[in-house]
């Protein structure tokens, strides 16, 4: 059946039909080709001609930028020919200058190996003799020195680069010739990890300069609100944005489906997802459905399979689940069955959004907004075989972001409004990175300001006091007893990194506050869609033991928060209040955790953890007496209003900034600071801050605007998970007052009061 007919059929369905709240048609676009000021070398031209490849406009832009010595950031979607856009200018130089070398950095090993095949085949076709190789933790010892001495294109990942840099004297040939660094999937480098990688890239540039080179940077990212600014912060060089995609695509119909169309809601979002998947598959659309966890993926695959086979288990088109825990052979089998068409439907966890390698499909279903617009478009982009119509379907959950999109679909289809944030000033991250730099080349507090910023002299002095840096004639050098690179992990904010182990394997690492929050004893941790129960938690060794489990409940910790303001770095007036940004000391005390099953509490267990104290950055809004008077005149509960405002402002942060609501903490209090006025705090959940609160300060008016719209449009009476209730509230969502929340936000932001809407 044609996509168009199916979309009409679904909308007319008596049961599902009323849930379709939006239909967007994205028109097909034909290719836009480009031209070059100067021809490519003959061998590249012959290769392109023999494959009938004509260059798209963005590929030509990338080649021209590189030729003129500009760093760039490319934001065109997957399958738009990004690899060629980077590879052609690289091979042009490789053919032209026998000394030139290039470094490609990928976020994962899997991606590195995919790209290795592509680059090697290009190298073979061009007879370029670049000797393209991967250098990472899996590279055999015997091959390493050969690669260092001869490879002209090396592919690696940030963790490996972190260690390579301290051995730079073995890499002098490679670094002397280094003309370009290609950073693919750059949007993954944000938050704590991204801040580390940004400083790691500065260490790389510093070493390249030492060997007389000064590489250009080529970045690619998914769509962001600030690609140029983000790229420049990541690589330390100004980057030109190339955003015009010249590649063609077929037309796409995008439908929004809201199971939560009445309050209280009686429908099951998973049941609806299964029905929709089955509808698509049984009408002949090969469909990929993304869900939040493995359990849900399996449930949806099973239900959808039952529906298409009419209740029986055999016959009918095949639908399978696909998840991280599968063996490589199992995953490859599913991928190949998808390609051959044997398999008509796959239900996958979000964790695998870029993992599945099966080309394009006819239909994609997003069961729940995956948290970022970026991920949503990446998932939706899997639909669309060339020249054919495709279908994408977003099924909303009850949370604020999902519901906001159901009410404001236009904001989903506008250009991205998500800012990716990197913090170059987090003192903990900076301090570790400076130590590594000191182990690589002597530090000069003046010359190296360019790489590490104005805090450098203070950090060097602090390390000198601890005898970690020693003064020599050539500058400050690392003088600790262990390898500096081993002291600094790229994933940790502070030096206190907790490792989560399962069966001897490290699942992930967390800083102290995240570990207390998400991996306390008894917690159910979701990792790549799989459930783990935390069995033991050692503060001494900072190791946490987890066991894979299959349970039908989840956990949430309860805590109390105290905040002391240390310095206010910035402030400005709001129409009905005052907004500040600065440094705070946060004390979180985790007292117990709840066990929940479908939002119903099935148990509460005590926790025995010491208070967690950390310095971070926060924004805070103080509310003056005339506004509080106004709230009480309208019979509002001030504490419930402040608390609601705290929750909803945190809930809408991910709408504007690439982060998760779990990355932020909040506190609302009837009196704080010098004035003793009622105050709402929103703080970075990571030691030293990772720039989220600072960005929140910058865009506070926009945040309040979104928050006000969200609350005023929610159909509930007294607050619900789609507006002011928070899944991470430490005080169990008490007290909350929806009307007071709306009034308070309206008064503080000077917007229209929502009470009559
Ligand atoms: Zn509500
Ligand atoms: Zn709360």
In this predicted model, which residue has the larger pLDDT, 69 or 486? Answer: 69
In this predicted model, which residue has the larger pLDDT, 314 or 189? Answer: 189
Mean pLDDT of the chain: 90
* CA of 558 relative to ligand 2 center, distance in Å: 10
pLDDT at 454: 95
Please, which pLDDT band fits residue 494 given cuts at 50, 70 and 90? low
Instruction: Note residues around ion ligand 2 (Cβ under 5 angstroms).
Output: 729
Which range is least confidently modeled, 331-340, 345-354, 692-701?
Answer: 345-354
User: Which ligand is in closest contact with the Cα of 736?
Assistant: 2
**H helix intervals, 367-492:** 373-380, 400-407, 409-413, 427-440, 449-452, 456-465, 484-487
User: Which ligand is in closest contact with the Cα of 668?
Assistant: 2
Q: Over the range 554-572, which residues count as b (16 or more CB within 10 Å of their CB) and which as e?
A: bbbbbbebebebeebeeee
Please, which pLDDT band fits residue 755 given cuts at 50, 70 and 90? very low
Please, which pLDDT band fits residue 385 given cuts at 50, 70 and 90? low
CATH of 427-487, one of 3.30.70, 2.60.120, 1.10.10, 1.10.3470: 1.10.10
Please, which pLDDT band fits residue 325 given cuts at 50, 70 and 90? low
Pick from 571, 577, 572: which is nearest to 747 by CA?
577
Question: Which residue's structure tokens are 């996958």?
Answer: 348
* CA of 22 relative to ligand 1 center, distance in Å: 20
pLDDT at 7: 87
Please, which pLDDT band fits residue 261 given cuts at 50, 70 and 90? confident
The CA distances from residue 494 to 259, 518, 540, in Å, are: 42, 17, 16
* CA of 398 relative to ligand 2 center, distance in Å: 18
The values of phi and psi at residue 551, to 5°, are -125, 160
Which range is least confidently modeled, 89-98, 161-170, 275-284, 656-665?
Answer: 656-665
pLDDT at 414: 82
- Sign of dihedral through CA atoms 613, 619, 625, 629? negative
* CA of 560 relative to ligand 2 center, distance in Å: 10
* CA of 411 relative to ligand 1 center, distance in Å: 20
User: Which ligand is in closest contact with the Cα of 729?
Assistant: 2
Q: Write down the pTM of the prediction.
A: 0.87
Give me the architecture of the 3-24+250-413 domain, per CATH: 3-Layer(aba) Sandwich (3.40)
Residue pair 193/423 in contact (Cβ under 8 Å)? The answer is no
State the pairing for strand pair 600-606/577-597: antiparallel
Pick from 91, 105, 177: which is nearest to 135 by CA?
105
**H helix intervals, 269-408:** 269-282, 294-308, 328-340, 373-380, 400-407
Between CA 643 and CA 631 the distance in angstroms is: 14
pLDDT at 756: 37
Instruction: Note residues around ion ligand 1 (Cβ under 5 angstroms).
Output: 714, 716, 720, 722-723
User: Which ligand is in closest contact with the Cα of 669?
Assistant: 2
* CA of 165 relative to ligand 2 center, distance in Å: 45
Is it true that 3-24+250-413 and 427-487 share their CATH fold?
no
* CA of 692 relative to ligand 2 center, distance in Å: 19
Residue pair 27/251 in contact (Cβ under 8 Å)? The answer is yes
Q: Where are the domains of the chain?
A: 3-24+250-413, 42-242, 427-487, 497-548, 556-756
* CA of 716 relative to ligand 1 center, distance in Å: 4
Long-range CB pairs of 280-283 (<8 Å, 24+ gap) are 280/6, 280/345, 280/362, 280/363, 280/365, 280/391, 280/393, 281/308, 281/317, 281/319, 281/344, 281/345, 282/307, 282/308, 282/316, 282/317, 283/1, 283/6, 283/9
* CA of 84 relative to ligand 1 center, distance in Å: 48
* CA of 701 relative to ligand 2 center, distance in Å: 21
Three-state DSSP at 682 gives: strand
Residue pair 487/434 in contact (Cβ under 8 Å)? The answer is no
Report whether pLDDT(387) > 80: no
* CA of 711 relative to ligand 1 center, distance in Å: 6
pLDDT at 44: 96
* CA of 734 relative to ligand 2 center, distance in Å: 7
* CA of 205 relative to ligand 1 center, distance in Å: 50
* CA of 738 relative to ligand 1 center, distance in Å: 8
Q: Say which CATH topology domain 42-242 has.
A: Rossmann fold (3.40.50)
* CA of 574 relative to ligand 1 center, distance in Å: 26
In angstroms and rounded to an integer, the radius of gyration of the C-alpha atoms of the chain is 27
* CA of 724 relative to ligand 1 center, distance in Å: 6
Write out 475-513 in H/E/C secondary structure.
Answer: EEEECCCCCHHHHCCCCCCCCCEEEEEECCEEEEEEEHH
* CA of 690 relative to ligand 2 center, distance in Å: 22
Between CA 394 and CA 306 the distance in angstroms is: 22
Three-state DSSP at 640 gives: helix
Listed ranges 106-110, 144-148, 494-498, 671-675; the one with the highest mean pLDDT: 144-148
Calculate the CA 699 to chain-centre distance.
20
Between CA 291 and CA 401 the distance in angstroms is: 16
pLDDT tens digits, residue range 1-56?
788 888 888 889 999 999 999 999 999 889 999 999 999 999 999 999 999 999 99
User: Which ligand is in closest contact with the Cα of 665?
Assistant: 2
Residue pair 69/217 in contact (Cβ under 8 Å)? The answer is no
Burial of 209 (0-12, 13-18, 19+ CB in 10 A): middle
């Amino acid at each position: 059946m044609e996509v168009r007919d199916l979309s009409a059929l679904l909308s007319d369905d008596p049961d599902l039909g009323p849930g379709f709240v939006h239909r967007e048609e994205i028109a097909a676009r034909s290719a836009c080709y480009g031209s070059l000021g100067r021809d490519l070398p003959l061998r590249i031209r012959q290769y392109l001609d023999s494959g009938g490849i004509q260059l798209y406009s963005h590929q030509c832009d990338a080649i021209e930028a590189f030729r003129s010595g500009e760093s760039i950031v490319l934001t065109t979607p997957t399958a738009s020919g990004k690899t060629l856009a980077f590879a052609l200018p690289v091979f042009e130089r490789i053919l032209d200058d026998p000394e030139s070398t290039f470094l490609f950095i990928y976020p994962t090993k899997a991606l590195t190996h995919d790209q290795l095949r592509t680059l090697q085949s290009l190298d073979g076709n061009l007879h370029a003799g670049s000797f393209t190789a991967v250098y990472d933790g899996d590279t055999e010892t015997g091959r390493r020195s050969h690669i260092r001495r001869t490879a002209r294109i090396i592919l690696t990942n940030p963790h490996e680069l972190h260690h390579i840099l301290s051995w730079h004297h073995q890499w002098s040939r490679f670094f002397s010739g280094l003309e370009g660094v290609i950073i693919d999937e750059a949007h993954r480098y944000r938050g704590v990890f991204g801040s580390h990688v940004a400083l790691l890239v500065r260490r790389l540039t510093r070493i390249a300069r030492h060997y007389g080179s000064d590489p250009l940077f080529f970045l690619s990212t998914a769509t962001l609100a600030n690609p140029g600014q983000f790229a420049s912060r990541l690589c330390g060089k100004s980057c030109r944005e190339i955003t015009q995609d010249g590649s063609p695509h077929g037309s796409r119909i995008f439908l929004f489906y809201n199971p939560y169309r009445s309050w209280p809601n009686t429908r099951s979002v998973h049941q609806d997802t299964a029905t929709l998947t089955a509808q698509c598959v049984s009408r002949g659309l090969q469909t990929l459905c993304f869900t939040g966890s493995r359990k849900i993926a399996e449930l949806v695959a099973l239900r959808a399979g039952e529906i298409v086979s009419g209740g029986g288990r055999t016959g009918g088109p095949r639908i399978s689940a696909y998840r991280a825990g599968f063996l490589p052979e199992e995953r490859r089998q599913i991928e190949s069955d998808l390609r051959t068409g044997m398999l008509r439907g796959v239900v996958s966890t979000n964790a695998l959004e870029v993992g599945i390698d099966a080309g394009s499909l006819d239909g994609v279903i997003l069961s729940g907004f995956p948290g970022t617009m970026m991920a949503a478009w990446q998932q939706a982009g899997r639909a669309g075989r060339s020249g054919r119509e495709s279908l994408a379907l977003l099924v909303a959950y009850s949370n604020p972001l999902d519901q906001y999109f159901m009410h404001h679909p236009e904001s989903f289809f506008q250009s991205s409004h998500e800012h990716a944030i990197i913090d170059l000033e987090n003192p903990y991250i900076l301090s570790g990175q400076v130590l590594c730099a000191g182990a690589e080349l002597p530090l000069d507090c003046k010359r190296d300001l360019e790489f590490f910023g104005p805090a450098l002299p203070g950090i060097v002095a602090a390390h000198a006091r601890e005898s970690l840096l020693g003064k020599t004639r050539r500058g400050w050098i690392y003088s600790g007893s262990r390898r500096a690179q081993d002291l600094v992990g790229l994933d940790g904010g502070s030096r206190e990194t907790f490792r989560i182990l399962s069966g001897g394997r490290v699942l992930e690492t967390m800083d102290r506050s995240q570990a207390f929050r998400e991996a306390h004893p008894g917690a159910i941790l979701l990792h790549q869609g799989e459930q783990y129960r935390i069995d033991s938690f050692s503060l001494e060794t900072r190791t946490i033991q987890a066991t894979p489990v299959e349970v039908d409940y989840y956990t949430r910790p309860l805590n109390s928060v105290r905040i002391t303001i240390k310095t206010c770095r910035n402030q400005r007036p709001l129409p009905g209040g005052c907004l500040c940004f600065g440094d705070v000391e946060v004390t979180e005390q985790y007292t117990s955790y709840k066990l929940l099953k479908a939002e119903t509490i099935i148990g509460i267990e005590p926790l025995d953890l010491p208070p967690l104290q950390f310095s971070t950055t926060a924004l805070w809004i103080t509310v003056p007496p005339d506004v509080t008077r106004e709230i009480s005149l309208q019979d509002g509960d001030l504490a419930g209003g402040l608390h609601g405002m705290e929750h909803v402002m945190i809930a809408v942060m991910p709408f504007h900034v690439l982060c998760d609501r779990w990355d932020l903490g909040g506190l609302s209090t009837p009196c704080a600071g010098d004035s003793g006025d009622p105050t709402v705090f929103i703080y970075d959940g990571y030691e030293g801050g990772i720039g989220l609160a600072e960005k929140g300060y910058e865009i506070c008016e926009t945040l309040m605007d979104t928050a006000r719209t969200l609350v005023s449009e929610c159909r509930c009476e007294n607050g619900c998970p789609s507006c002011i209730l928070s899944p991470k509230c430490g005080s169990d969502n008490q007290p909350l007052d929806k009307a007071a929340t709306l009034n308070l936000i309206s008064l503080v932001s000077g917007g229209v009061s929502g009470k009559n809407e």
